Structure formats: structure tokens, C-alpha cells
């Protein structure tokens, strides 16, 4: 479903938000519900609406939107005469208005298009370009030291294509979604690469299956031909011939046992048959074997097999850990759990009288207070996270910075930082904010910071404020920094400030509910 939603975001100019949306959506406690979609969009401040629309008003809907069709979330693209429905498996189907309306339950999700889209450059495109350039360089280097016949060129080309297809198969096996392969693998109802590749029947034993064999075969073939072309093509061609019974078994398995076709598997089978044909039609009289002919192929086989069987468990563990992390994150993102773990402050009296450095509107639903010390390394990180969160969600967050430093301790060389910050706040609040950023984020050293943000000797009101903040911390036994307070409660252990982005909508809803109760 993530791929489908990412396509929808792209259509409406939110390509730069895809990674953030995926993070929010996959870790949402209500994943993969409609609410998880709308709540994740809300968290990114993407205007959206989920509602039930009478079928009579269908023509008034936008050109593209998400809908529930046949109990499944689909992407709908509407023209004046037809409707294209794209499913979770990225299968596309053209329907008439009558056909669509018959199975549409009238529920849609629509987002406001981004007027000035800032599409993020796809990293994958750069990766493919680097890979292609690197492979071209290796081929060029091989050509400088070896002589390639027509047959060796043909077998190198088919082996490279087979290697690429094998990579797609392994991606499908590990659950790494690829938009291109997803479209091919779901070209009609009878095709499903996932069903075939992940089938127990495709496993040879618990250590190796057909996806491993194809990846290793084409990888070894490509490397051996590049290093010793004229000798390696004999072995590659011969092995392709030997593999034909396995191809027949694979086709039989898909047709009669699994009853689904794997387009990628069929493409790999075709490549192997093609290699067999090239080998058979080649100069068979020249295909005599010597022991030295096997050196390159055996070396490539040992090298790539060792690498793959070392890397494979790492990849499997990484994918498993990512899946488990998402499941744990859904549990952690439960707002009721977050509130349960948020402890009350024992001595809350006089807190509102403390005069700190503030960012954002005091009416915001999410009120974050940080009590910091200028000499605390963890305070740098905490403030940086909170400040970044404020910058991303400035309309939803009010950030208040207080200090816990003993005003009587003249030996504390960092006391001047807090005094200057509070003095700057009285003179020019914006400068105080900039000075705070310079200290905690830009990490200016003490001498440079004092030169840049020097003020006259702090007056008695500044000292009084410093004392008030220090004594309030003493009352609550806050003998540490940073102290994190969220909407009047202590921030729960086990959470980081940056994770508050998951609860911003919950705080807004909670505030709206309280306002309704007060006005009732």
C-alpha cells in the first residue's frame, strides 16, 4: 500500500514528503487503516479529507483520489469518459463510470495539491547511474586486456540481463518493493512473482533456493566472462544447457502446483534458454575443455558464493529487524501509553510565572518546556531536536526554554551564558533566540559566544528570574538537566523529543475536546 500512496503523493506534488509519510504511516498504531493514512497526512500538514460522497456527486470529485473499491484501497484517476483504478499491487484496470460506481462504497480520501511542488530527487536514479557507469568501466577494462568474440559478447549480455533480473527476484523475496517489478509481476490476475518466489516449493533446502541459484549463476557467469571470456563461455553455455530440466520443472511448478506465473522467473528461464541457443549455434568444434579453462569460473564461483552466503543472513536480519522495529513503533506510538508514562509534576505552583525564552504561539496545543544548563552536553542534543521539531511544526508547537543553574555559584564559568540570554530576552527576544541557537546548536565556544552576545551587567530582575527558575527546580528535586516537560507533565522515559511529531495531532484533538467541554 505504501507504493500506491507514494504514487498519489507524487501526483499531487508531495514527492519530497514520501519518506516522512512512509515513516509515519508504517509506524502508526492503526496501520494500515484509513485513519492511519489521514493522521499521517495531518502530521505532515498536508491538507486532506476523508468522507463519504454520494454517487450522484462523483463527477464533481478531483481527477485523482484514493477510494475504497471492492473493499480495497485503490488510486483512482478520472477522465471525462473512463476511470483507471490502480490497486495495492499496482495493477491498473480501466473501467467505465458504471462499472466503477457499482463496486465503489462512496468513501474517498483526497489531498490538496501542492501549488509549488518541490520534488525530491530520487536517490535510486543516482544509484542506478553509478552502477551503470561502474559496470561500463569494468567492461571497458576487461576489453582492454581480453579479446571478445561475438559469442562471448552475446553470453556476457545475456548474463548481465539475467543478473539484473536475479537482483529483482531477490528484492521481491526480501520484500523490497520496486515499482517497475511490481507492475510486471501483477500484469494480470494470473501473475504473482511474490507467490512463486516465496513459495516453500521453490526452496531446495533451508539454506538455498532457486532465487539464490539464479543470482549466483548469472553473477558467476558475468564475472568469469569478464575475466576470461573465451574459456568461460564454454562452461556458461554448457551449464545453461544442463539447467533446461530445472527450467521445465519451474514452469511445471508455476502452472500446476502454485498456479501463478512469475514474470521474472519466466524471463530468467528465457535468458538461460537463449544462452543455450547461442552456445549450441556457436563453433562447437572449438569447445574442447582443458583444466585451465575452469580457473576463472571456479575462482568466480568461490568468491561470489562466499560473499553472498555471508551477506544474505545480514540482509535477512536487517529486513526482519526493520519489520520488528515498525511493529514496536506502532506500540510505542499509542497515545494512551504515552500519557500513562508521562508523570505529573509534584510542585507545579508558580511554574507559569517563570519567564523563559519562547518560540511559537502560547496558544499551541503542544507545549514543550525544556530546563537546560549551558554546561550540559545532553542539553545541546535535546534543544537541537526540539528546535528542529518546532521549525517543522511551528503552528502546532510552543517551545519554552528555562534554566537550572545556581545563581550563587560564582565559580561556574557558564553562569554568564544564562545571565546574558535572559538579559537579551528583555532587550530583544529575537536576539535571545539567536544566541540560544548559537550556544546549543552552532556550539560556539564560550569566549566567542560572549564576544558576539555581550550585554551590560545583568540587572536585579535578571538575577531574580534566575533564582526563581533555580528554586522551582529545587522544589521538584530536578537536580539534573535536561528536564523535559510536555503539556504540564514530565516527558516519559524511553521517548525522544523528536518522537513528539507522532502525537501532535493527538494533542490538538485533546485541546479541541477540552475547549468543547469548557464551552458546553
The SS3 assignment for 407 reads coil
- pTM beyond 0.75: no
Q: Write down the pLDDT at residue 484.
A: 95
Residue 378: phi, psi to the nearest 5? Answer: -65, -25
Residue 484: phi, psi to the nearest 5? Answer: -115, 125
Instruction: For 410-467, give the DSSP string.
Output: TT-TTHHHHHHHHHHHHH-HHHHHHHHHHHHTS---HHHHHHHT--SPP-HHHHHHHH
Q: Write down the pLDDT at residue 117.
A: 56
State how far the Cα of 520 lies from the Cα of 518, in Å rounded to an integer: 6
Q: Which three cell numbers stand for residue 296?
A: 576463472
**Cβ atoms within 10 Å, residue 510:** 16
Q: What angle do CA 509, 512, 517 make, to 5 degrees?
A: 125
Q: For residue 312, give Cα distances in angstroms to 181, 251, 298, 318.
A: 21, 26, 21, 10
Residue 252: phi, psi to the nearest 5? Answer: -60, -40
Q: Is the dihedral of CA 407, 408, 409, 413 positive or negative?
A: positive
Cβ-contact 12, 114 below 8 angstroms: yes
State how far the Cα of 325 lies from the Cα of 337, in Å rounded to an integer: 17
Q: Each residue's pLDDT tens digit in the chain (520 positions)?
A: 787 888 888 888 887 788 788 888 887 878 888 888 888 888 887 888 888 888 888 888 888 899 988 888 888 888 888 888 888 776 778 888 888 888 888 898 999 888 765 544 445 567 778 888 888 898 898 888 888 888 899 999 999 999 999 999 998 888 777 767 777 777 776 788 888 888 887 777 777 888 899 999 999 999 999 998 888 888 898 899 999 999 999 899 888 888 888 999 999 999 999 999 988 887 555 555 666 667 888 999 999 999 999 999 999 898 888 888 888 888 888 899 999 999 988 888 888 889 999 999 999 999 999 999 999 989 999 999 999 999 988 889 999 999 999 988 888 899 999 999 999 998 899 999 999 999 999 999 999 999 999 887 666 778 899 999 999 999 999 988 999 999 999 999 889 999 998 899 889 888 888 888 777 6
Could you tell me where the DSSP H helices lie in 282-353?
Answer: 295-332, 335-341
Q: Write down the pLDDT at residue 85.
A: 87
Q: Write down the pLDDT at residue 260.
A: 85
Residue 92: phi, psi to the nearest 5? Answer: -110, 140
Q: Looking at the chain, how many residues does it have? A: 520
Cis peptide before 32 (omega within 30 of 0): yes
Q: Which three cell numbers stand for residue 28?
A: 502508526
Residue 452's nearest CA partner among 415, 492, 421 is: 421
Cβ-contact 92, 86 below 8 angstroms: yes
- Give the containing element (helix H, strand E) for 368: strand 366-372
Could you tell me where the DSSP H helices lie in 203-294?
Answer: 210-227, 229-242, 244-252, 263-281
- Give the containing element (helix H, strand E) for 369: strand 366-372
Q: Which three cell numbers stand for residue 433?
A: 533566540
State how far the Cα of 266 lies from the Cα of 273, in Å rounded to an integer: 11
Q: Write down the pLDDT at residue 290.
A: 63
Cβ-contact 295, 228 below 8 angstroms: yes
Amino acid at each position: 500500500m505504501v507504493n500506491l500512496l507514494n504514487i498519489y503523493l507524487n501526483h499531487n506534488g508531495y514527492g519530497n514528503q514520501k519518506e516522512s509519510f512512509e515513516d509515519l504511516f508504517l509506524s502508526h498504531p492503526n496501520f494500515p487503516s484509513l485513519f492511519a493514512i489521514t493522521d499521517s497526512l495531518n502530521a505532515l500538514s498536508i491538507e486532506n479529507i476523508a468522507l463519504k460522497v454520494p454517487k450522484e456527486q462523483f463527477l464533481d470529485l478531483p481527477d485523482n483520489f484514493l477510494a475504497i473499491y471492492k473493499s480495497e484501497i485503490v488510486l483512482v484517476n478520472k477522465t471525462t469518459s473512463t476511470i483507471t483504478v490502480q490497486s495495492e499491487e499496482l495493477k491498473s484496470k480501466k473501467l467505465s463510470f458504471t462499472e466503477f460506481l457499482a463496486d465503489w462504497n462512496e468513501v474517498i480520501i483526497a489531498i490538496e495539491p501542492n501549488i509549488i511542488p518541490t520534488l525530491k530527487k530520487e536517490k535510486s536514479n543516482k544509484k542506478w547511474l553509478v552502477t551503470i557507469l561502474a559496470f561500463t568501466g569494468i567492461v571497458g577494462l576487461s576489453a582492454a586486456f581480453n579479446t571478445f568474440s561475438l559469442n562471448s559478447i552475446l553470453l556476457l549480455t545475456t548474463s548481465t540481463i539475467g543478473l539484473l533480473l536475479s537482483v529483482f527476484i531477490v528484492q521481491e523475496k526480501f520484500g523490497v518493493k520496486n515499482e517497475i517489478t511490481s507492475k510486471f509481476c501483477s500484469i494480470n490476475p494470473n501473475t504473482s512473482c511474490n507467490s512463486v518466489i516465496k513459495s516453500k516449493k521453490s526452496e531446495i533446502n533451508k539454506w538455498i533456493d532457486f532465487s539464490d541459484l539464479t543470482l549466483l549463476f548469472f553473477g558467476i557467469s558475468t564475472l568469469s566472462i569478464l575475466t576470461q571470456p573465451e574459456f568461460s563461455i564454454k562452461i556458461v553455455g554448457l551449464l545453461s544447457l544442463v539447467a533446461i530440466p530445472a527450467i521445465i520443472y519451474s514452469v511445471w511448478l508455476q502452472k500446476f502446483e502454485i498456479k501463478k506465473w512469475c514474470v521474472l522467473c519466466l524471463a530468467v528461464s528465457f535468458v538461460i534458454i537463449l544462452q543455450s541457443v547461442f552456445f549450441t549455434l556457436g563453433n562447437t568444434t572449438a569447445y574442447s575443455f582443458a583444466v585451465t579453462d575452469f580457473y576463472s569460473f571456479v575462482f568466480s564461483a568461490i568468491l561470489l558464493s562466499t560473499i553472498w552466503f555471508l551477506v544474505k543472513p545480514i540482509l535477512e536480519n536487517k529486513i526482519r529487524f526493520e519489520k520488528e522495529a515498525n511493529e514496536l513503533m506502532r506500540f510505542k506510538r499509542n497515545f494512551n501509553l504515552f500519557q500513562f508514562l508521562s508523570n505529573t509534576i509534584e510542585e507545579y505552583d508558580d511554574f507559569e510565572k517563570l519567564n523563559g525564552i519562547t518560540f511559537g504561539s502560547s496558544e499551541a496545543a503542544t507545549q514543550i518546556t525544556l530546563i537546560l544548563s549551558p554546561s550540559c552536553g545532553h542539553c545541546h542534543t535535546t534543544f537541537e531536536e526540539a528546535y528542529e521539531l518546532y521549525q517543522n511544526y511551528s503552528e502546532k508547537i510552543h517551545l519554552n526554554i528555562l534554566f537550572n543553574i545556581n545563581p550563587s555559584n560564582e565559580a561556574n564559568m557558564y553562569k554568564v551564558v544564562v545571565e546574558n540570554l535572559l538579559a537579551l530576552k528583555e532587550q530583544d527576544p529575537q536576539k535571545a533566540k539567536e544566541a540560544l541557537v548559537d550556544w546549543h546548536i552552532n556550539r560556539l565556544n564560550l569566549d566567542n559566544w560572549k564576544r558576539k552576545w555581550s550585554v551590560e551587567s545583568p540587572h536585579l530582575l535578571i538575577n531574580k528570574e534566575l533564582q526563581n527558575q533555580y528554586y522551582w527546580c529545587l522544589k521538584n528535586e530536578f537536580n539534573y538537566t535536561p528536564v523535559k516537560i510536555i503539556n504540564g507533565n514530565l516527558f516519559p522515559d524511553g521517548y525522544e523529543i523528536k518522537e513528539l511529531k507522532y502525537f501532535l495531532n493527538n494533542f490538538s484533538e485533546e485541546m479541541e475536546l477540552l475547549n468543547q467541554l469548557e464551552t458546553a
